[in-house]
Structure 1
């Protein structure tokens, strides 16, 4: 697309002609996905009437949505949107290999001697995923903080566990391509002899993988499960208005 085009209407037309992906649209939180689809289809028809054509019509992205009947399948649109968000999140999640020096530091000093950058990145990623949820954006700031305070750590483990499951590991691994288990960070010199830590580490980073393997969780089921956690209306501390939004 020609980024030199400064007119918003012209840029929007160009996006439509290039095959706009409805799943990547952010904003329009007061509208449902079918309504957004109808608006885009209306604009597309206007461009056709002017003699213009849809670019890359034979090679549309697999994420392009076309209704199978006269009615848009709302459930499929929502799931397709959530999967698109997940694919973008996975690209952000995958990081370069961890250095031997960093591994040695963790084994000697534990995970929290120095705030782990990977954990901070995961927490920020969860916040960014939350912003794609219409219900999250309807919450007041205080309710957003309340919700995130209670769901970010469970979601962080879920995010890492599902990533490990898709890579066919039996333990939660670091998203570095190295295959190193997260449990490694709690098995070094710093935690040596601490049976409680060893027990909890096994429960969180090894035993937690069993349900994924047993159930064979699909991508659709995973993104729906994550969305349900983001819409947890029974979170302690949420205002009455916040519970209604969720």
Structure 2
């Protein structure tokens, strides 16, 4: 039995090194939380001091960090509570510069999932588009908050930060909406509480009749059949894309290095899971999907601009939205 206990201890130590949060484990009221946290911190310190953390462990920890941050974003996305910052008249600079990050407050959104807009979404083209714009604003806001969680983001100049956020936030918002729609086995783009646009073709303005990009967004993700790990790593690659936006030269090098790092994590993850050659093939498929996403997102952005122009929506409560929409 001694070797079994030793094996379990090794697995526990590996979890500690990977960044496990002991407070999420099953606890009893009689437990001394402070004492547990102190012992846990000491154990982690000794492990880090006495062993060499392999590159494989560090890469796996990065992937787990991405999954954790995304889980927080998903909680807020699926909540019926609109983050105050979305409608607080904040500019994109305000959102980037603030030290607060709404993703750290995800727990307060957990029990608010009974979706109902304060102003009920009305039928008809304008009513449905109002709903879509509302959810798109939340998606862009969460994309900006996600960008701020990357350590590399803090190393970039403000000009690069703003340019990057303006160019990639809508792309990652579309990626998020299509992935969670795919997860729900839907061929339509679905937002919080499975809400999606329901349009009568006869009510759509002539200028918009041929501008729908929904199938162009959904078809590729159904073909590639993304996993959750692939999804969050694609996001990381988009956030570290040095070819998007007006990036300063010194920042380009930082982003290129970061992009290479996440590419290696993705490739290693796939090859460990599938084997060397199948993993490399899958890696190429994912990169091809990402290129398709970038192209379709550009078309979808143009469609949003056209809708905004036709319906003359006011975005005074969300100035950051216009900064992302018009680039």
In structure 1, how many angstroms separate the alpha carbons of the residues matched to 2:121 and 2:36?
48
| Pairing partner for 2:191 from 147, 158, 174 | 174
| Pairing partner for 2:54 from 60, 71, 74 | 71
* 3-state SS of 2:156 partner: coil
Query: Once superposed, which parts of structure 1, at least 4 consecutive aligned residues long, lie more than 4 Å away?
Result: 11-14, 43-46
Residue 181 of structure 2 corresponds to residue 164 of structure 1: yes
* 3-state SS of 1:103 partner: coil
Map of 1:141 onto structure 2? 158
Cα RMSD, aligned residues only: 3.5
Residue 241 of structure 2 corresponds to residue 232 of structure 1: yes
In structure 1, how many angstroms separate the alpha carbons of the residues matched to 2:246 and 2:74?
31
Shift, 1:102, TM fit: 2.5
Q: Is the 8 A contact 1:16 1:44 kept in 2?
A: no
In structure 2, how many angstroms separate the alpha carbons of the residues matched to 1:15 and 1:129?
27
Shift, 1:156, TM fit: 1.1
CA gap of 1:13–1:43, structure 2 versus 1, over 3 A, is farther
Map of 1:215 onto structure 2? 224
CA gap of 1:123–1:70, structure 2 versus 1, over 3 A, is closer
Shift, 1:196, TM fit: 4.7
| Pairing partner for 2:203 from 192, 199, 205 | 192
- How many residues were matched structurally? 188
Q: Is the 8 A contact 2:181 2:188 kept in 1?
A: yes
Shift, 1:13, TM fit: 7.6
Which consecutive residues of structure 2, in runs of 5 or more, have no partner in the other structure? 1-22, 24-32, 81-114, 256-327
In structure 1, how many angstroms separate the alpha carbons of the residues matched to 2:184 and 2:132?
26
CA gap of 1:167–1:220, structure 2 versus 1, over 3 A, is same
**TM-score normalised by L of structure 2:** 0.49
Residue by residue over 1:26-77, the C-alpha shift from the partner in whole angstroms, topping out at 9 and shown as x without a partner, is xxxxxxxxxxxxx97225789xxxxxxxxxxxxxxxxxxxx9x963522211
**TM-score normalised by L of structure 1:** 0.64
